[in-house]
Structure 1
Amino acid sequence: MERGSSKHGPRVDEQMSREVSGLVQGPGTGGSRVDEARVPEPAGEDQPEPTTAPAGELRTGAPKGMSSEDVERRSRLGRFITMTALPGDREALIANARDNDAPADIIAELERLPEGTRYQTVSEVWAALGHKNETTRW
């Protein structure tokens, strides 16, 4: 027994099947889920490109005492220092950052750390490099 609609013929069934194939099977089958009318047009010649940070700030709600740029830079530093390196001294932090494929600028920053000091957190490392951390709220 062939399955089909009893309300219309096989030709209409086939046409309806093609119309929804992109929704059912995804974009890899030739159809696309994106309606061309919904794709945004590029900015005009005299218009600025759209940005996720229209006011220049990368994130809202930066902690008191830090700019959003400081937060992003400290976060970037923290991505290359894993928790297994803390607490750790200058050499352990540099070795850990190298193991995590840190870029040259991060390694250069860590090489500026004074020797003989153990750091408990990334915030302590950040402060030892001469940057400001957030201020404590009371």
Structure 2
Amino acid sequence: MERGSSKHSPRVDDQMSSEVSGLVQGPGAGGSRVDEFRQPEPAGEDQPEATTAPAGELRTGSPQGMSSEDVEARSRLGRFITMTALPGDRDALVANARENEAPADIVAALEGLPEGARYQTVSEVWAALGHRNETTRW
């Protein structure tokens, strides 16, 4: 059974279909989905062009007391120490890191931890390795 419009003739239906094809099929069909008033205006003659990376120091999401490199390095360490190893001592952490196929530098750092100490969190391990954790704001 063929569906058709009961209000228009087939010729009018085809014409109406071609008029909205840009809205239905997108910009490749000759039209655009974006209304002209929604498109951003270009910068004025006396204004600089917008850039994706502003010059100068960027504000990052690093916590107070840590750099973005510190955050990334601690996160990298945490990827190879799973929660099943915590709380744990040096031997448990080294074994867990090896099970998780940690790189040699992380295994070597964990092997340098003092023997007999137990660590509750990755942050405690990070501090024991001689790094700084974030400072708390009061």
1:135 alignment partner, SS class: coil
1:42-57 → structure 2 map (5 Å cutoff): 50-51=52-53, 55-56=57-58
* Long gaps (5+) in structure 2: 28-32, 40-50
* Long gaps (5+) in structure 1: 24-33, 39-48
Shift of 1:129: 0.5
Shift of 1:19: 6.0
| Structure 2 letter corresponding to 1:76 | R
| Structure 2 letter corresponding to 1:117 | A
CA, structure 1 residues 110+4, in 2 after alignment: closer, same or farther (shift >3 Å)? farther
1:66-77 → structure 2 map (5 Å cutoff): 66-77=66-77
2:120 alignment partner, SS class: coil
Please name the residue that 2:4 is paired with: 4
- Supply the distance in 1 between the matched residues of 2:137 and 2:107 (Cα, whole angstroms): 32
2:127 alignment partner, SS class: helix
Please name the residue that 2:109 is paired with: 109
On the 8 A contact 1:4/1:13 being kept in 2, the answer is no
1:1-138 → structure 2 map (5 Å cutoff): 1-5=1-5, 6-7=7-8, 8-10=12-14, 13=17, 16=20, 20-21=24-25, 50-51=52-53, 55-56=57-58, 59-60=60-61, 62-138=62-138
- Supply the distance in 2 between the matched residues of 1:113 and 1:129 (Cα, whole angstroms): 7
1:123 alignment partner, SS class: helix
| Structure 2 letter corresponding to 1:111 | E
Shift of 1:97: 1.8
Deviation string 1:50-107 (CA, Å, 9 cap, x unpaired) is: 459x7355x32x3332222212221221122111100111121122122223233322
State TM-score, norm by structure 1: 0.60
